Structure 1
Amino acid sequence: MDSAFLKCFPNASSLTTGGNLLRSKYSTKNIYFTNSYASKVSEHRRKTQQYNFWRVEQPTLNHHYKCIEGGSTNKECNRKYVVKGIPGPSSNFEPHAFDPKNIFDSVKYFLITFYKFSIPHASFTRILSTISASFLVVEKLSDISPLFFIGLLQAMIPFSFVEIYVNSLNQLFDIEIDKINKPYLPLASGEISFTTGIIVVASCLTLSIYFGWIIGSWPLIWGILICLFLWTAYSINVPLLRWKKHPLLAAMCMFVTWGFIFPTSIFFHMQTFVFKKPTIFPRSLIFNMVFVSIFFVGMALCKDIPDIEGDKAFGIYSLPARIGPKRVFWISVSLFETAFGVALLMGATSSSSLWIKIVTGLGHSVLASILWYKAKSVDLRCNASIASFYLFIWKLLSVEYFFIPLIR
């Protein structure tokens, strides 16, 4: 071990472990022999090596070696080394200079981690749903004006903060569960500290309310407040709340916010606040609410299937944990197919032009077929396969948001 330790030092190459050390060119300078102090120096040597370990790594040290040799010269020489690092004058050591590249890498790492923390597939779908609900108020091409895009931006900003708040708050209260179910999430993996998570949650909560208030749109304000309340009740672990522990309440949070609160608040913000038109419930808005509500009941059930192990460990008995993942999976698939069936029916009976009926009919038929094909290939014994299917469902929903404004 000592000889291996000496290999760390550049000036130790002239030392040998056998033969006569008197032949070394450094023997009269740095190497001294003694027979009587071996036992006393051994403990001192161990402490000295430990104390000087970090110092010997400096580039400007003068190294001095003391060899303690015991026994006869005719026998194998038992040598022990004490290595002392004595700092000398430095000519090449400088403090670390300002490095813009390191700052750029740090910012890049933070943005990537924050991107994962915000659950990107949900945030991206939220943006598409905002755009889709906003287009429901468009009756003619002249409605797509700068005023329309200003109103769209007014809706998109606060609800984006709401979405990040919802996802971040859920991770804060599910750290231990996510270490079992989703160890790749930033909080569970330690990429983001708990304190940083609290800062992100508090900031997004404040910004969502602040932007809603300064915009002054009451449909937006009420939509933001109701969504914040429902998803806080879903995640926060206090008496009478933590609704995710109850399958019915958990499903309600998803389909009420995505299917009713969110599209209606966006639509009435654009209809009454931006365009100053009277309040109406068009057929397209009703279709949006019905389709998304059915779809998100299936999403709520499917979401819990790969999380059974962690949920059970912390006393959360979701529907898959109660009746089994296979039954819940096919119930979810049936709900998804029902939603696409409603879309086919609404598209076929809409007042849209023939080519729009053909596009929406073929589009929903293709989506329903792909969904069924994908569902049959899912391995319910593999959580990764189920999680992949769940992400695939989000992609189908994203595509659907392009079809919804076409059905009138």
Structure 2
Amino acid sequence: MSDSFLKKSSTNPQGNDARQEPSLNVRKVVAPGKRSAEHLPNIVLLIRFLKPVTWIPVIWSFLCGAVASGAFGWQDIIGIKFLLGMLLTGPLASGTCQMLNDYFDRDLDEINEPWRPIPGGEISLRNATILIATWSILSVVVGYLIHPLIALYVVIGIVNAHLYSANPIKLKKRLWAGNIIVAVSYLVIPWIAGEIAYNPEFTLQSLSPSLIVATLFTISSTGTMTINDFKSAEGDRQIGIRTLPVAFGDRKAAIIAAILINIGQLMAAAYMLMLDQPSFALIVTLLIIPQFYLQFSLVRSPKTMDVRYNAIAQNFLVAGMLVCALAIKNFRL
């Protein structure tokens, strides 16, 4: 990429020959004190736009689906199919959804996170549109290379991202709906994609255990999504986005989030018992205990404990996901 592709043209109020980009620009100018003072290389800007930290749960869900299929062995980690799956669920599909979210939330980000590339003035709307279109096409193509049905799931995920962020629907404004659709996109879609990638003779009946477990963990994930809402509560309140912290207040929202997180995992443990996998059910239950302990601190101070809680507690939650995937694999043997 050339240096001028991602970065917006600078303007010089004292010169007549300063070149300004003729196409779409960010609608609101961020106050000079809030804008990023540094001019980052294009590759760094692109990485910030794609938000690699958000890829991890989607990649993990794909891995869990692959393990649950019963046809995945750890030697497959270096196989082309798995590498394509990591590329798809990480930088491509997840990256596309993150760019879409930044594009449609640019006004909100000017309040909550003005250092992001679009409100910070480092990436223009035109160039953001080009990147989103390119990444969307690449995502569908890579999904098709793994399995044609996965390409369809990629399209559904991109549509979900539009429904979540874009007006007039903008599900993130609608209390539960936004977190639910994100949780589905982060868990159910990549989990089932992992199943399909390694189980070509799949049927609805064979997919049922994974569908049930992924749905139960979606309940838990809806709670973790609520915790992410604490950091942007002020901006959400100003422009009328009704997240749980805005609608119920921080403390009540934290209690609701904790209940959802625990219920989803307890139900998953109970389902492991139904599959006659008591050892796996016990492990999933034990993994809830440290999360429960951390939730007391979260409820006491949601805005100061949100990042710490997710950084620590989610490790136990995702470990439970893999345990359930191994239980499903064992059930199928």
In structure 1, the residue matched to 2:251 is: 326
Gap change, CA 1:387 and 1:253, over 3 Å in 2: same
Among all aligned residue pairs of Structure 1 and Structure 2, give the percentage whose two residues are the same amino acid. 18
Match of 1:92 in 2: none
Aligned to 1:27: none
Give the whole-Å Cα distance in 2 for the aligned partners of 1:175 and 1:295: 28
Give the strand-richer structure, 1 or 2: 1
Q: 1:116 aligns with which of 48, 53, 66?
A: 48
| Shift in CA distance, 222/393, structure 1 to aligned 2, threshold 3 Å | farther
Q: How many Å separate the matches in 1 of 2:202 and 2:79?
A: 17
Matches of 2:48 and 2:196, distance apart in 1: 32
Please name the residue that 1:7 is paired with.
Answer: none
5+ residue gaps, structure 2, are 1-37, 329-333
Structure 2 residue aligned with 1:401, among 312, 321, 328? 321
More helix by share: 2
Give, in whole Å, the separation in 2 of the partners of 1:138 and 1:148: 17
- Structure 1 pair 220/186, CA: closer, same or farther in 2 (3 Å)? same
Residue 368, structure 1, aligned to residue 273, structure 2:
no
Tell me the distance in 2 between the aligned counterparts of 1:197 and 1:391. Answer: 29
CA distance in 1, matches of 2:308, 2:115: 14
Q: Calculate the aligned-residue CA RMSD, in Å.
A: 3.2
1:337-374: per-residue Cα shift (whole Å, max 9, x none)?
A: 1122123323344445xxxx546623x34431211221
Partner of 2:153: 223
Find the structure with the greater CA-based Rg: 1
State the structure with bigger RCO (CA 8 A, min sep 6), 1 or 2: 2
Q: Identify the residue that residue 181 of structure 1 maps to in structure 2.
A: 112
Contact 1:138 1:144 (8 Å CA) reproduced: no
1:256 aligns with 2:181: no
Counterpart amino acid of residue 134 in structure 1: A
1:245 partner amino acid: K
- Equivalent pair of 2:183/2:218 in contact (CA under 8 Å): yes
Write the deviation string for residues 263-296 of structure 1: whole angstroms up to 9, x where unpaired. 2233123212xxx465642564144323322112
> Is residue 151 of structure 1 aligned with residue 81 of structure 2?
yes
2:251–2:302 contact (8 Å) kept in structure 1 = no
- Distance in 1 between the 2:125 and 2:306 partners? 28
How far did residue 162 of structure 1 move? 1.2
Q: Confirm whether residue 345 of structure 1 aligns to residue 265 of structure 2.
A: no
Q: Displacement, 1:388?
A: 3.3
1:217 is displaced (CA, Å) by: 2.1
Residue of structure 2 equivalent to 1:378: 298
Give the distance between the partners of 1:146 and 1:318, measured in 2 at CA: 41
Matches within 5 A, 1:297-336: 297-336=222-261
Query: Counterparts of 2:116 and 2:206 in 1: how far apart (Å)?
Result: 40
What is the SS of the residue equivalent to 1:185? coil
Rounded to whole Å, the distance in 2 between the matches of 1:183 and 1:110 is 18
Aligned position for 1:170: 101
Q: How many residues align?
A: 290
Which structure 1 residue ranges, 5 or more long, are not aligned?
Answer: 1-105
What is the TM-score with the length of structure 2 in the denominator? 0.74
In structure 1, distance between residues paired with 2:102 and 2:165: 9
**Separation in 1, partners of 2:77, 2:310:** 37
Q: Which one of the candidate residues 109, 127, 131 is aligned to 1:200?
A: 131
